[in-house]
Amino acid sequence: MEKTIKTIILAAGKGTRMKSETPKVLHKIFNKELLGYVLDAANKTGMTEENFVIVGHCAQEVEKYVQANYKNAKCKLQSPQLGTGHAAFQAYEDLKGFDGDVLILNGDIPLLTSETLLKFIDTHRKNNAALTVMSAVFENPSNYGRIVRDENDNLKAIVEEKDASEEQKKIKEINTGVYLLDWAKVHEAFLNMKADNAQHEYYLTDIVKWTINQGLKAQSYVMENNEESYGINSKKQLAEAAKILKDRVMDKLFAEGVTIVDPDTTYISPETEIDADVIIYPCTYIEGKNKIAKSCKIGPFARLRGDVELGEGVKIGNFVEIKKSKIKAHTNVCHLSYVGDSTLGSNVNIGAGTITANYNHITKEKFQTVIDDNASTGSNSVIVAPAHIGENASIGAGSVISKDVEANALGLTRAPLRIVKDWFSRMKK
C-alpha cells in the first residue's frame, strides 16, 4: 500500500516587511489567505492525511482561521521561535511512529500547485530517497542557498550565499525551502540539530546535512516553473504574486473558450469555474468560489464576491455586485444593483438600482431573498429580506418591499405624487 503523507506548514513568522498587524500568512489574494493556498495545494494532491500548521506570531488568529476552514489540519505553537528546524520540530511528538512521508512547506508560497507537488512526491518515491529538496533555477540567484550536487547528481550540500565560494555562487539552482522526508529514515535528524550559528537557531538545512552524513540518499527536484517558489515578504511581493496568479487564470480561461475583453483590468480567482462562450467585460473583479455557466455576460465594472452560481445566459452588468447567490438561466441584473444571499429564478429582470437588503446590523444576522421565475423589480427597489417574490410578480419602481409578494401580483409602496406649482418662483422670492 502506498505510504500516506503528512505535512508541516511553517506559519509562525511575523512578516515584519509586510508593515501590518495582520499575520503574513493571513494576507489575501482574491480574498483568500496565503496559508489557504498552501493548505489547498497540499490537500489537492489527494495524498495528504493530516496537516500540522506551525503558529507563533498572532497564533490565536491563525489558529482560528485554520480551525474554521480545514478539518484535517491542527496548529502547533512555536514559542520561542528558534529557526525553521525548531519550527518543524513542534510536530515531532505527533509524528512518532508515523511510517510515511512528511512534506514541509512554507505558509507564504501561494503560487505552488498541487501538480508540482505530485511530481515532487513521485520523483522522491521512484528514487527511493530519504530526503528530497525542491529546488528552482534562477538566472540571478542572489541571496538564496545554492544546491551543490556530487558527480552522481545527488544532493551534496545546501550552501547559503554568505558561506558560498565564488564558484558556488555561480550555481543557479537554489533551495526553495520545500522538503519531503521519509520520516522513518530521517526523523532522528531532528534530535541532532545544533544551534551553532550566530543566530543560535535551528535550521532545516541541518536536516539535509545530517541525512547526507548518515549515508542516506538525498536529492533535489527542480520545479519546472520557478514562479511557484515565490515567497511573500512584502506588500509589493503580494501584488506581484496576485498578478502572476491572475495571468495564470487568464491563460487557462482563454484556452477553455472564455472571452475576456481586457485582461489587464479583469481579475478572476483561480477557484472560479467558467464555461465556454462567457464574455467578461473590462474592470470586472471575481473573487472566491463561483460557477458561471455558458453564454453569460459579466461587466463592465461588476464584482462577484464568492459563492455565486450563474445559470446559462445570465447578464450581470454595469456596477453590479453579487454575493452568495444563485441566479438561474437568462436572468438580467444589468445596472447599479446589489444582490446578496439570494436565489433568483429564470428570466427574472432586476431593475437598475435594486438592492436586496439582507443584513441586520444590530443582530448581525443575514437573511435570504427569493425571487421566482419571470418576476421583475422596478428601478430603485429595495427587497428587505427575508422576502419571497412570487412567479410573474412585479415590484413597482422606488418600492421598499418588506413582506412576501404572491405570484402574479404587483408589489408597490409609493407615496402619491404631489406637484407644487410655481415652486421655483416662490423660492426665488
Catalytic residues: 335
Give the contacts of 61 (CB within 8 A, at least 6 positions apart): 23, 26
Give the contacts of 93 (CB within 8 A, at least 6 positions apart): none
Give the contacts of 13 (CB within 8 A, at least 6 positions apart): 24, 25, 56, 57, 81, 108
For residue 408, report the phi and psi dihedrals to the nearest 5 degrees. Answer: 70, 5
**Burial level of 196, CB count in 10 A (0-12/13-18/19+)?**
exposed
Are the CB atoms for 312 and 277 separated by under 8 Å? Answer: no
Q: How far apart are CA 15 and CA 367, in angstroms?
A: 38
Q: How far apart are CA 407 and CA 145, in angstroms?
A: 69
Residue 227: C-alpha distances to residues 88, 133, 196, 258 (Å):
24, 17, 33, 25
**The three three-digit cell numbers of residue 28, written as one number:** 489575501
Q: How far apart are CA 346 and CA 25, in angstroms?
A: 41
Q: How far apart are CA 34 and CA 84, in angstroms?
A: 18
In three-state secondary structure terms, 235 is helix
In three-state secondary structure terms, 139 is coil
Neighbours of 136 (CB within 10 A): 24
Q: How far apart are CA 81 and CA 60, in angstroms?
A: 16
